[in-house]
Amino acid sequence: MDLIEIEGLRLRCVIGWRDEERRDRSDVVIDLTVGTDAGAAAASDDLADAWDYRAASKAVIAEVEASECFTVEALATRVARVLVCGRGAPWARVRVRKPGAIRFADSAGLVLERTPADFTGAGDPR
């Protein structure tokens, strides 16, 4: 499996439980790793054969900026759903960090990995 990496998407969204977090947008930093097969694009050197990471980034940005999650877990799952279900990625790793969430730490966050199987049936993480 080949990996596409998108690092350091710096976005703002409503995330957290406290009143000020619900009222004011917070900074989040998102890193994406997406599994793909780059063989066709490598052989043809044709953009049409590549996984469209620009369109995927735009979809992630739109999802995050419109979101109002209480937890980074929920936000990361929403991002993974965009990549896997909305953009056809066979596998995605999503890292969401919230700068300044913990005193004396640069950030706090979560890393999760998802495949299409994680979004089918009763066990679908919403």
- Do strands 2-15 and 68-69 pair parallel, antiparallel, or not at all (unpaired)? parallel
Answer whether 0.85 is exceeded by the pTM. Answer: yes
**Catalytic pick among 98, 101, 109, 118:** 98
Distance CA 107, CA 121 (A): 34
* pLDDT tens digit sequence for 111-122: 999 999 999 865
* pLDDT tens digit sequence for 4-36: 999 999 999 999 999 988 999 999 999 999 999
Distance CA 95, CA 109 (A): 7
Q: Domain 2-119 belongs to what topology?
A: GTP Cyclohydrolase I, domain 2 (3.30.1130)
Name the one residue in this structure whose structure tokens are 């960090």.
97
Tokens of 43: 């052989």
Residue 124 pLDDT > 90: no
Known catalytic residue at 58: no
Residue 51 pLDDT > 90: yes
Contact 14, 25 (CB under 8 A): yes
